[in-house]
Amino acid sequence: MNVPVKNGQVTDKTRIIASLPTIKYALECGAKSVVLASHLGRPDGQRKMEYSLTVIVPILEELLGKSVIFAKDCVGKETEELCKNPAEGSVILLENLRFHLAEEGKGVNENGEKVKATPEEIEAFRKSLSSLGDIYVNDAFGTAHRAHSSMVGVDLTPKVAGLLLKKELEYFSKALESPTRPFLAIMGGAKVADKIQLIKNLLLKVDRMIIGGGMAFTFKKVMDNMEIGKSLFDEEGAKIVKEIMDTAKERNVQILLPNDFVIADNFSTEANARIIKDSEGIPDGWMGLDIGPESSNSFKELILSSKTIVANGPPGVFEMEKFSKGSRSMVEALVAATESGSITIVGGGDTASLVEKCGSANKVSHVSTGGGASLELLEGKLLPGVTSLSSKS
């Protein structure tokens, strides 16, 4: 239910829609009531009503075709009474978990000072949450990488994965543990340093890797001594580029970098733009904001000849139409690969936004609902919200 809200209106219902199968399944299986707990935005432990989940109620009611009871708080005696003996088939939505410091364990007070919840506050918060139901279902993949109270502190048995979380884990598990090969990873994003662990882990799994986005310029400068003008250059990440390329060579992983770019004289929609080859270099005062047509074609060929594809990062600044062609071409290739029987997984965050903007979210195998969580899974890390679930007997 942690969806974007602007001027009191939900602007993207994707996550709400994704949660529906679990809610409906619970009701179909005879649950007397379903109590929904969620975050919305970052109120930092304060009761800021612009982050109230009341905006979700009419949307949920429309999607479920039934009334939804709204609890004015997520814990406390009044909420505990409301959840104790509701009418058969009730759906109850709790107020924002992040209105309480004890959810994340820390936040900011009214004076803007950083504060922490006391152990006693955390214990009381978790105890009250635990009293609101009999079975715990975690369907919040987007928060599963955080050891928040709602993720790890609810004392109920059993603690199980919802249908969305199950789907997320199955897709990533299949890709990382037993992929149909060739296995391709598409990397984007600004900084190499931010993706070091991700790249290192994937080099142990994949057969091929495309490196695009802002980080491509750091690779091109280090490996090819290319002039990159004002393009992004990651000083810290540059130190490990050679190590990454050496590891790829040792493991026989094909690395594909762009060989042409769409460059601009400033970062705006009104900028002058042109296409250059990597051999020309990017002039001083100009920056690369997208891959060029030759690179798009090379990327497309590699995507279409791969059987498992994980995309994590767009190749260009797709938010600006003038610099979105490379990103749109990548999505078109992912859709075509899916239609040909390949497994295509789109990481959360910017890549998911790109696919949705292209109207292709239902045309790839899986679009993840969690940016940070999918990143940590791909890095080989354990997710607290998953490890805290009951073991399968």
DSSP 8-state code for residue 348: S
Domains 5-161 and 168-378 share a fold: yes
- Under the banding of pLDDT at 50, 70 and 90, the label for residue 196 is confident
How far is 115 from 105, CA to CA, in rounded Å?
9
CATH of 168-378, one of 3.30.465.10, 3.40.50.1260, 3.40.50.20, 3.40.50.150: 3.40.50.1260
Pairing of strands 33-36, 159-161: unpaired
What pTM, to 2 d.p., does this model score? 0.87
Task: Give the distance from CA 264 to its chain's centroid.
Answer: 29
Residue 261 main-chain phi, psi, to 5 deg = -140, 155
Exposure of 68 in the CB half-sphere (CA atoms within 13 A): 25
- Kindly report, residue by residue over 109-162, the tens digit of the pLDDT: 999 999 999 999 999 999 999 999 999 999 999 999 999 999 999 999 999 999
Model pLDDT, residue 393: 41
Q: What is the mean pLDDT of the chain?
A: 95
Residue whose structure tokens are 């598990």: 173
The pLDDT of residue 348 is 65
H helical segments located in the chain: 14-28, 57-64, 77-84, 101-104, 119-130, 149-152, 163-177, 196-203, 215-224, 235-238, 241-250, 293-304, 325-339, 350-357, 371-378, 384-387
Query: Which of helix, strand or coil describes residue 275?
Result: strand
Please state, in angstroms and rounded to a whole number, the distance separating the CA atoms of residues 223 and 218.
8
Q: How confident is the model over 260-272, as a mean pLDDT?
A: 96
Q: How are beta strands 260-264 and 273-277 bridged, if at all?
A: antiparallel
197 pLDDT band, cuts 50/70/90, is confident
Q: Is 15 a catalytic residue?
A: yes
| 208 is known as an active-site residue | no
Q: Is the dihedral of CA 222, 224, 227, 232 positive or negative?
A: negative
CA nearest to 136, candidates 393, 372, 386: 386
Active site annotation includes 181: no
Predicted local distance difference test score (pLDDT) of residue 72: 98
Q: What is the dihedral of CA 11, 166, 372, 190, to 10 degrees?
A: -90
Catalytic residue among 159, 166, 174, 191: 191
Q: CA geometry: angle at 314 spanning 313 and 319, to 5°?
A: 125
How crowded is residue 391: how many other Cβ atoms within 10 Å of its Cβ? 7
pLDDT on residue 321:
93
> Is 372 among the catalytic positions?
yes
Catalytic residue among 349, 370, 371, 385: 349
Residues belonging to the binding site are 195, 319, 348-351
Catalytic residue among 41, 76, 372, 380: 372
Pick from 146, 147, 153, 239: nearest CA to 191: 239
pLDDT, average across residues 262-279: 96
DSSP string of 58-87, one letter each residue? HHHHHHHTS--EE-SSSSSHHHHHHHHSPP
Could you confirm whether domain 5-161 is CATH 3.40.50.10860? no
Using an 8 Å Cβ cutoff, are 142 and 370 in contact?
A: yes
Binding site members for ATP: 195, 319, 348-351
pLDDT at residue 67 above 90?
yes
CA distance 128 to 121: 11
- Convert 247-262 to b/e letters by CB count within 10 Å (16 or more is b): bbeeeebebbbbbbbb
